[in-house]
Amino acid sequence: MNEKNDCLKQDEETFNYFGKAIKLFLNKSNNIWENRYKSWEHCYNIFHYVKSKNIALDEKLYDNLNDIFPNMSKAWTYQNELALHLAFYMASWGMYRGSSFLLQNDYTIYKEVVGAIFDSKYDDLWDDSKLFSSSDTGNNVDKIEKLYYAIFEKLKPYKCYFVNKSYFRNETQEPQSREFSTIITKIILGTIGCFPALDRNFKQGFGLQKTSSKKDKTINNKTTNEYVNNCIKRVYELGCAKYEQYKRNNQNITNYPFMKQIDMYYFIKGMEDEFLINIGLGPDVDKNTIKKQINGYIKGNDAEKQKEVAKYLYNNVAWKDYTTREEYDILVANSNLKQAIEELLKVSNSNLRNFVKKYYKSKDSNDDIIE
């Protein structure tokens, strides 16, 4: 593997910025209870509450609901409640887009998933101190892999295919586990919290992206499973290598599980990598090259690149008031990109604010411009 993409060998400065990037990420939602970022918290907290209290999944929450739900059992159990929470979290976090087979099913497809998650063989995955125990790393990788495929088996029967403007289930067509990788890992992240979500931004930031060649799209199930297993192993190795260091350097930032924090960091980093690629650079360039490129587009005539830069600044620089005040926070994980933006702001804060306003004129001047 290319050394520059090996996250275990990233420089300490970048990793030490980890906690600050996460704290800024959390600031996007901490003051707004209804913010969609809270959907993860609600789902994760109720799963951990039920687990910590040893509540049986078939324990009743409500009785006599048969008049409301005639096709289900009379009692509303914790399993129903958890499945409903999981469904809303998945919808809130983008898993119910029109192209997703989940959109063609109701929340009840998660009931068996909930049962699999609460299997006692995964008990050590619920606690960071056990998850990252140096004496049990091999077993924990194996447990995460088994949990992944257990969820896959529960969801597999509900896979739908879109043909001739209609959705149908084809029992003769075997879904591949990689088709479900984002869905399954988002489920794990929102429930046990022992593994990040393998979505596009995370994979970009972590260096897990595969090429999109025709050969890759037609890989057999064995190769697909090897890809998933490799992702699990590499991410878990990073967690084990950095867990103690992170606890020392970033105390009291959040009580989120460490894998959730890894998810947030590399999600941010993936967006940055994509931005740098879209403006003609790459994730490993130095701050002066980044600064020169951004400044060149701001002063130039390339409307598409200008919009790309403005969109990134809009989403990642928070001016408290971008007409009269100089205060701002920067939500960036890449230390070179962060320094480049800081230096541009020091030279011409007002010009950058006006540049962003050109593309986002409808924004109230008293609002943060993080979205």
pLDDT tens-digit profile of 314-353?
877 765 544 444 556 676 777 788 888 888 887 777 777 7
Confidence of residue 17 (pLDDT cuts 50, 70, 90): low
Cα dihedral angle (27, 31, 37, 38), rounded to 10 degrees? 130
pLDDT at res. 116 = 97
Least confident among 9-13, 61-65, 122-126, 216-220: 216-220
Average pLDDT over residues 183-191: 96
Percent of the chain with pLDDT over 70: 70
pLDDT at res. 221 = 43
8-state DSSP, 136: S
pLDDT at res. 140 = 92
Cα–Cα distance list, 171 to 95, 160, 167 (Å): 23, 10, 13
Angle at 225 between CA 222 and CA 230, to 5 degrees: 125
Query: Number of C-alpha atoms within 13 angstroms, CB side, residue 181?
Result: 21
In the chain, where the domains are located: 3-255, 287-359
* Stronger pLDDT, 44 or 171, i.e. the higher one: 44
State which of 76-85, 225-234, 249-258, 354-363 shows the largest mean pLDDT.
Answer: 76-85
Confidence of residue 174 (pLDDT cuts 50, 70, 90): low
Query: How far, in Å, CA of 356 to CA of 4, rounded?
Result: 33
In three-state secondary structure terms, 60 is strand
List phi, psi (to 5°) of 194. -100, 5
pLDDT at res. 323 = 46
Confidence of residue 217 (pLDDT cuts 50, 70, 90): very low
Q: Which residues contact 21 (CB under 8 A, 6 or more apart)?
A: 264, 265, 268, 331, 332, 333
Tally of CB atoms within 10 A around 168? 10
pLDDT at res. 16 = 56
* Stronger pLDDT, 165 or 91, i.e. the higher one: 91
* Residues written for the chain: 371
* Stronger pLDDT, 154 or 169, i.e. the higher one: 154
In three-state secondary structure terms, 92 is helix
Confidence of residue 107 (pLDDT cuts 50, 70, 90): very high
Provide the mean pLDDT of the chain. Answer: 78
Query: How far, in Å, CA of 124 to CA of 121, rounded?
Result: 8
pLDDT at res. 32 = 53
pLDDT at res. 162 = 55
pLDDT at res. 345 = 82
Question: Is pLDDT at 193 greater than 90 in this prediction?
Answer: yes
Report helix angle 287-299 to 303-316, nearest 10: 120
Give, rounded to a whole angstrom, the gap between the first and last alpha carbons of the chain. 36
pLDDT at res. 86 = 97
Which pTM does this prediction carry? 0.82
Strand partners of residue 162: 167
In three-state secondary structure terms, 319 is strand
- The model's pLDDT over 25-55, given as tens digits with 9 standing for 90+, comes to 666 555 555 677 789 999 999 999 999 999 9
| Amino acid identity for residue 99 in this structure | S
Query: How far, in Å, CA of 68 to CA of 65, rounded?
Result: 5
Percent of the chain with pLDDT over 90: 31
Cα dihedral angle (73, 74, 75, 76), rounded to 10 degrees? 70
Pair of tokens at residue 246: 């992170």
332 neighbors 21 (Cβ within 8 angstroms):
yes
Q: Which residues contact 277 (CB under 8 A, 6 or more apart)?
A: 283
Q: Which residues contact 295 (CB under 8 A, 6 or more apart)?
A: 344
Query: How far, in Å, CA of 66 to CA of 145, rounded?
Result: 38
* Stronger pLDDT, 152 or 98, i.e. the higher one: 152
177 neighbors 76 (Cβ within 8 angstroms):
no
pLDDT at res. 366 = 38
Confidence of residue 8 (pLDDT cuts 50, 70, 90): very low
